[in-house]
Chain A
């Protein structure tokens, strides 16, 4: 027989990063689902807009906008801080993963607190009108993603300090960074639509 009888894969590694890894596909698909949900929520924002003569019927108010801008700034900062986490994970540099994960986790908790203040400052409730409903529910969806991301950040930070930290957990850290960047990007778009009415719309 000219070719070998079998393909030996004994030497292949036990983990891989990026699109080589099945879990990366899982996270990408989860993000596709959540992004579709958010796009449809924003679509309904524009859909109900056609039913109002004055849009927005009641403004979001300066206080809520300030907090929302604060969320935006802190999230972007946390996204930037997530880049070295991803980098360190791919190099298996546990020390740097630990340091930057703490930075990201603290920032993500700050974003969560600002989110609570933002929602409290909104000058209308979801029962006020369809406008109020769509604003509250859209922010609510992002808050769910935010909470999921914060919990994941905390769990991985604890894991990075307490172990057991195996090769595959570097992959988890890298994927968590991917999901967190999605949470950040999602708010950039959502913020622009919900709070940028003076900028985007007439």
Chain B
């Protein structure tokens, strides 16, 4: 089946980005492209790098930076595995081990999983919905700098032996002023402030973009499932992240200025921390997982070349998962002594969330069943995801039951479970997504054979690391303890897990080598190498700075799989200013046009002002008082009009 394109593909801004020689075109088109390039071009030079507000640049930056943190978190995991390979190993002492498992968890959750999903969303969503940038370009630039400052703070702290050591969840009273003196936990708490600010900023930008900047005709029932997933995730971020920001603020205040939120002697409550942390922490799992589900749908659709089976139940399942995801945080606290009614309620909701996940699995299986899937690397990762995730889901249903949970609480059974869910549920689809969208993001093709090796090594390695942990946990091996005695008999399975860790790491190394090779001399990617149906494949690979030469009009759920009826494109949007079309939230009817912000340094200034303020607070609570005017000044600079005098009203 051929894939006619809705939109004439446009050459990239950089002349070398598309190899084939175009026939001589009418002057009007060349002039049109020249003008678009002049308007949307990324600013040049070092200052230009900091001033860039294009989703194409920032989406890429989020993905690359998050991947760097993924590698760092992976190295920490390997260090732990090496320490645990043999009983009574003296490789890493207890203090450093505490820091390493805290760094691993914090890195993977806050600096890798959420930002990488948002990076994919930032890069793909504007293309998928047929517009030229996100609704708030400066906000995503601010978000990126804030994220880098937060991640940098955590790692600088770690290098100076001030890495947090109370777990990625920082339970009080362990993390409180009495049992964690020094600055380690403060570094953690302020890293949370930065990363949550960044996530919230991205969520706002993505929601407004998805609801208001869609191509005409792309009504809500026509948006791609990945875009749905990003929209739903972003709403979850809006309501989940404030809980951890508030909790980490309370923690920082308890530690720095002597408040008593978590101090039972003065009427505070340690469980208040757990409630607030998990009210964020459980939705967080779905914030990571739901975008991955969107990637799975996109990959299956283009590999089978069939519309996804059950679009409506798919969307409803995503929404249901998001809602139920807010109603089961207490299942992390079964061991804290809850009232019976609370346990029953949260057991029921924890089992209930398996239902929408099950619906989606069956819809994907039906899609695969009814098509003739091409076994690409992306699809291999998806198939691996289905297997591993179902397995993790099963141990999840077991853990939802209070008696089992009490038995295996704080053992490696739980570690095995959540790595099956998180790596199986999010990292496998993400790697599938990397292989799927790599041609669009970079304009080069990854090598499929190396891709299959990546999958094979990662799949085998993953199961060899984490399957034995189920058994170790059931046998009573506890988490977060730096070693174990030889007579426990845990040695052989731990050695197997460590060997598996090395294989898993090899898989990631093959992937990195594949990426480097492709960037250097990989074959150029066509516009739509997978014959996929959604709009990001309608433009060049990589997309030009103006995204689309002509803004598309959408007539169905799979714009690239059918002939395009008229009208096919939008005209009348300015090419001289970064103007975009705003459409109505539900039906995507053209409504009005707005000029977006171009390159600006104010996001960097604000991120630095916030950075100075928040980091100063670690050392002196007055930092907030001194820093606030700095932030206010940066904000005013941000919002102060540039004075284009484009349409003076009745001012004169």
Contact = CB atoms under 8 A, between A and B. Distances in A.
Chain B binding surface SS class: mixed
B639 A155 contact: yes
Contacts of B260: 127, 129-130, 132-133
Interface string B140-153: 00000000000000
Contacts of A20: 582, 584, 591-592
19 contacts: A3-B566, A4-B566, A5-B568, A10-B571, A13-B593, A22-B208, A22-B594, A29-B204, A57-B267, A92-B650, A127-B257, A127-B260, A130-B263, A130-B266, A136-B259, A137-B261, A164-B643, A165-B651, A166-B649
A44 interface: yes
Interface stretch (A45-53, A112-120, A183-191): A45-53
Query: Could you say which interface size class chain A belongs to?
Result: 35 or more
B268 A12 contact: no
Interface in B200-257: 200, 203-205, 207-209, 211-213, 216, 238-239, 241-243, 245-246, 249-250, 253-254, 257
A128 B268 CA distance: 11
A26 B641 contact: no
Contacts of A103: none
Contacts, number: 210
B90 to A, nearest CB: 43
B581 interface: yes
Given A12-B592, A22-B212, A48-B261, A169 B238 contact: no
Interface in A145-201: 147, 151, 155, 159, 163-170, 172
Interface of B: 135-136, 139, 200, 203-205, 207-209, 211-213, 216, 238-239, 241-243, 245-246, 249-250, 253-254, 257-261, 263-264, 266-269, 272, 275-276, 279, 550, 553, 565-573, 581-582, 584-585, 590-595, 628, 632, 635-636, 639-641, 643-651
Given A26-B136, A40-B276, A130 B269 contact: yes
Contact of A165 (B261, B268, B648): B648
Nearest to B267: A130
B206 to A, nearest CB: 10
B81 to A, nearest CB: 37
A7 to B, nearest CB: 5
Contacts of B243: 36, 40
A22 B200 CA distance: 16
A14 B594 CA distance: 6
B635 to A, nearest CB: 8
Nearest to A14: B593
A174 to B, nearest CB: 14
Contact of B582 (A22, A131, A159): A22
B636 A151 contact: yes
Contacts of B645: 164, 166
Contacts of A94: 649-651
A12 B593 CA distance: 7
Contacts of B209: 22
A21 B650 CA distance: 22
B246 A41 contact: yes
A5 to B, nearest CB: 5
A34 B571 CA distance: 39
A16 B272 contact: no
A106 interface: no
Nearest to A1: B566
Most chain A C-beta atoms within 10 Å of own C-beta, residue among B211, B254, B567, B640? B567
A37 B268 CA distance: 19
B203 to A, nearest CB: 7
B641 A164 contact: yes
B211 A25 contact: yes
Contact of A36 (B135, B238, B643): B238
Contacts of B245: 37
Given A40-B246, A51-B269, A147-B628, 12 more contacts: A7-B571, A12-B590, A12-B592, A14-B647, A20-B592, A26-B208, A33-B242, A37-B246, A47-B272, A130-B266, A159-B641, A165-B649
Contacts of A137: 249-250, 253, 259, 261
Contacts of A169: 641
Contacts of A99: none
B647 A167 contact: yes
A73 interface: no
A86 B284 CA distance: 38
Contacts of A50: 269
A127 B591 contact: no
A60 interface: no
A7 B573 CA distance: 10
B639 A8 contact: no
B568 A6 contact: yes
Given A11-B572, A26-B136, A29-B208, A166 B646 contact: yes
A112 to B, nearest CB: 13
Contact of A15 (B208, B268, B570, B594): B594
B135 A22 contact: yes
Contacts of B249: 137
B133 to A, nearest CB: 11
